[in-house]
Amino acid sequence: GVPLSTQWGPQGYFYPIQIAQYGLSHYSKNLTEKPPHVEVYETAEDKDRAGRAADWTVPKGCSVATVADKARFTSVKQFVAPESTEGVSLPLGNARDFIISFDLKFVTNGSVSVVLETTERNQLFTIHYVSNNQLIAFKDRDIYYGIGPRTSWSTLTRDLLTDLRKGVGLSNTKAVKQTKIMPKRVVRLVAKGRGFLDNITISGTAHMAAFFAASNWLVRNQDERGGWPIMVTRKLGEGFKSLEPGWYSAMAQGQAISTLVRAYLLTKEHAYLSAALRATAPYKLPSEQRGVKAVFMNRHDWYEEYPTSPSSFVLNGFMYSLIGLYDLKETAGEKLGKEAQALYERGMESLKAMLPLYDTGSGTIYDLRHFMLGTAPNLARWDYHTTHINQLQLLSTIDEAPIFREFVKRWKSYLRGGRAKHN
């Protein structure tokens, strides 16, 4: 699964920037962390040759059997459990880890539910993963996530802590309710409908599963324009027209490209590289044509995190869009990566020319609304200031222009109270 955002809308929506960052974060953690502890609960390869259901609880009118799946060259668990029953269940009893993973294939509509004992007066909450397209719902102590039809084999990996807290925190207002609820124990798994299950595990982390969930979501949800439309209204501030659902973000395009390129390098599956190459299309179109390109002072091309009217020129989103183009041109090679290279070079020229506009002498500026709207500057919070420094440090390793090193040094000094000289 991939994260569901509730930042700008309580109904829940998929935010491509968040999904790409989720994938990249797990990719990095996989490189730096030790392998997780994994508890295996069901592989259907037990020595039970009679095909009996080992630990499953099977109510009247239901069945669980071990069957051979010729396409997968393995045995799997086949379940039949009408919706009117309480479903077939497998005890788990794990109080240590909360990342659950299983292979699933439905023959009919159905659900796989996970019962959790929680810190909320030891109450049981149930998270239902249902074969529909509803994003998220919460009623009483039941949380529902739509996972789509799943009529062919796929692996579902879910962070039960996140799914519990996001569900319980759901409200009818823009804000998500803060909740301190935590899972204490994974009690059991319950299956309903007709289908097959295999490889049920619980682990502390599942970084590569999360990375590929994000990568595959990006491949599946890219539209015909090469972008990942953001289906929620965004109001950047007074003086800017609202971005209506369906807008594109250069930051989303760049971070999606960075994710897809890494998936391609790991698997050599061309679908990932093809999607990354298509993702350059919105960079070439101006904002008014549903692209992400703005031009500063009729001279400098800029790729907009928020393609507002008038243009906003957000610094951190622009740099992320450039990093994506760099990743793509380096991976795709001279011929396939020609377009990405040209976009990258034009963007880097703009960055070098415009970087001084973001320096206040004591910190940095988030965007150029003070120039575009004539309002007060939108000063970057210290976390954004630190992001600006980190991005410039990365760019200084791939471009030797002195401006990057000079600005990194000066901007770091601002963190320690440094100030530019006065007259």
Measured N-to-C along each axis, helices 16-32 and 250-267 cross at an angle, to the nearest 10 degrees, of 40
pLDDT (0 to 100) of residue 52:
41
What is the distance between the alpha carbons of residues 166 and 163, in angstroms, rounded to a whole number?
A: 5
What is the distance between the alpha carbons of residues 5 and 13, in angstroms, rounded to a whole number?
A: 5
Nearest residue to 328 via CA among 394, 256, 222: 256
The pLDDT tens digits for 372-397 are: 999 999 999 999 999 999 999 999 99
Q: Which domains occur in the chain, in start order?
A: 36-204 (2.60.120.260), 209-415 (no CATH)
The enclosing H or E element of 325 equals helix 315-336
pLDDT (0 to 100) of residue 44:
82
- How much of the chain, in percent, has pLDDT values that exceed 70? 96
Sign of CA dihedral 301, 303, 308, 311: negative
What is the distance between the alpha carbons of residues 374 and 414, in angstroms, rounded to a whole number?
A: 25
Q: How far apart are the first and last CA of the chain?
A: 56
The pLDDT tens digits for 270-281 are: 999 999 999 999
Place of tokens 């380096």: 330
The pLDDT tens digits for 21-52 are: 999 999 999 999 999 999 999 998 765 444 44
Nearest residue to 256 via CA among 230, 236, 231, 284: 230
Whether residue 10 has pLDDT greater than 70:
no
- Using DSSP bridges, classify how beta strands 142-146 and 136-139 pair: parallel, antiparallel or unpaired: antiparallel
Whether residue 53 has pLDDT greater than 70:
no
The pLDDT tens digits for 391-417 are: 999 999 999 999 999 999 999 999 999
pLDDT (0 to 100) of residue 179:
83
| Verdict on whether the full-model pTM lies above 0.85 | yes
42 phi/psi in degrees, rounded to 5: -155, 125
The pLDDT tens digits for 200-219 are: 999 999 999 999 999 999 99
What is the distance between the alpha carbons of residues 359 and 308, in angstroms, rounded to a whole number?
A: 22
pLDDT (0 to 100) of residue 77:
97
